[in-house]
Amino acid sequence: MTSTFCDERRVIRSPWLGDVEWDPKCELFFPHGLPGFEDERRMIPVEIPAQRPLVYLQSLEQPQVCFVCMPVLVIDPVFRLSLSDEERATLAIAGSAAPVPGRDVLCLGLLVPSGDTVEVNLAAPIVISLMNSCCLQTVAGSASCFRLAPDGRWVAQC
Amino acid sequence: MLVVRRRVGETIVIGDSIEVTIIEISPTRVKLGVMAPREVSVTRQETLAVAADNRRAAGFLGSGKVDGVLRMLGRAEA
């Protein structure tokens, strides 16, 4: 299993993904961690080709911490990202124009288990800067929840 | 709920050691500055909800439900 975008090798032993080889150049840095996981500052993105579009965010601090994510545009093709000035500075996004997912940043939604399915709050995406590999989880004022339906469609909940 | 009218630059004090100052007011937002002892957690309400979601998200891989979700996602592509 390999981390995305990698070359030079290190290995982390994940209880979920097995031994994952990763390159320091692929490391993602969360200066403030994530809400509820403020000490998780170093992660790597892991893709398993057969499981696309899932993306795993594997902590390098604690191997047992691993999140399952999905690109937000897969869930909501008209997703618009809004960032504060402080968040833009953290991500090294210049200018005042809205950052474009896929060009300036990558945005991932965290899959939260809910019964037999999952929900994603698109008001709290993980934002990965393509400029400096810094990341944060931005939190908008009101939730924007999507739920995965049995037929595989994402249905807006709130 | 206690309701207090304040202007930019004015402060309210909570207890002996917490100060909340109005930094900036725009038509839709208020920017607050909070000074509190280090041991007092100051968090936006919605961030607390996201923290709870994140803890549930971290338990997803241990729930044994990933395969079911992958099957559902596969149906969308079929």
Higher pLDDT, A126 or B43: A126
The CATH architecture annotation of domain A10-156 reads Roll (2.30)
Residue A6 confidence (pLDDT) above 50: no
Q: Which of A115, A113, A137, A135 is nearest to A125 (CA)?
A: A137
Please say whether the beta carbons of A37 and B58 come within 8 A.
Answer: yes
- Segment A119-131 shows an average pLDDT of 94
- Segment A18-42 shows an average pLDDT of 93
- Cα A33 vs. chain centroid, distance in angstroms? 12
Task: Looking at the complex, report in whole angstroms how far the Cα of residue A65 sits from the nearest Cα belonging to chain B.
Answer: 6
- Chain A to chain B Cβ contacts (< 8 Å): 89
pTM above 0.90, yes or no: no
In chain A, domain spans: 10-156
Q: Do the chains contact at A148 and B69, CB–CB below 8 Å? A: yes
Confidence of residue A9 (pLDDT cuts 50, 70, 90): confident
Walk across the sheet containing B30-35 and list its strands.
B11-14, B18-25, B30-35
**Chain B: which residues have CB within 8 Å of chain A?**
44, 46-63, 65-66, 68-70, 72-78
Residue A3 confidence (pLDDT) above 80: no
Residue A28 confidence (pLDDT) above 50: yes
Q: What is the pLDDT of residues A103-113, one digit of tens each?
A: 889 999 999 99
pLDDT of residue A2: 54
Task: Looking at the complex, report in whole angstroms how far the Cα of residue B78 sits from the nearest Cα belonging to chain A.
Answer: 9
| Torsion-angle region of A115 (φ positive above 0: left; ψ -120 to 50: alpha; else: beta) | left
Q: Do the chains contact at B54 and A139, CB–CB below 8 Å? A: no
Q: What is the pLDDT of residues A62-99, one digit of tens each?
A: 999 999 999 999 999 988 888 888 888 888 888 777 88
Q: What is the pLDDT of residues B11-59, one digit of tens each?
A: 999 999 999 999 999 998 899 999 999 999 898 888 999 999 999 999 9
Rg for chain A (alpha carbons), in Å?
Answer: 15
Confidence of residue A114 (pLDDT cuts 50, 70, 90): very high
Which residues from chain B sit within 8 angstroms of residue A141, using beta carbons?
46
Q: Do the chains contact at B53 and A121, CB–CB below 8 Å? A: yes
Task: Looking at the complex, report in whole angstroms how far the Cα of residue B9 sits from the nearest Cα belonging to chain A.
Answer: 21
Taking CA atoms, what residue in B is nearest to A50?
Answer: B70
Q: Do the chains contact at A67 and B66, CB–CB below 8 Å? A: no
Both structure tokens of A133: 């590999």
- Segment B64-78 shows an average pLDDT of 82
Q: Which of B53, B66, B74 sits opposite A68 (nearest CB)?
A: B66
- pLDDT over 90 percentage in chain A: 64
Q: Which of A102, A95, A57, A60 is nearest to A79 (CA)?
A: A102
- Segment B66-74 shows an average pLDDT of 89
* Residue B8: count of CB within 10 angstroms of its CB: 11
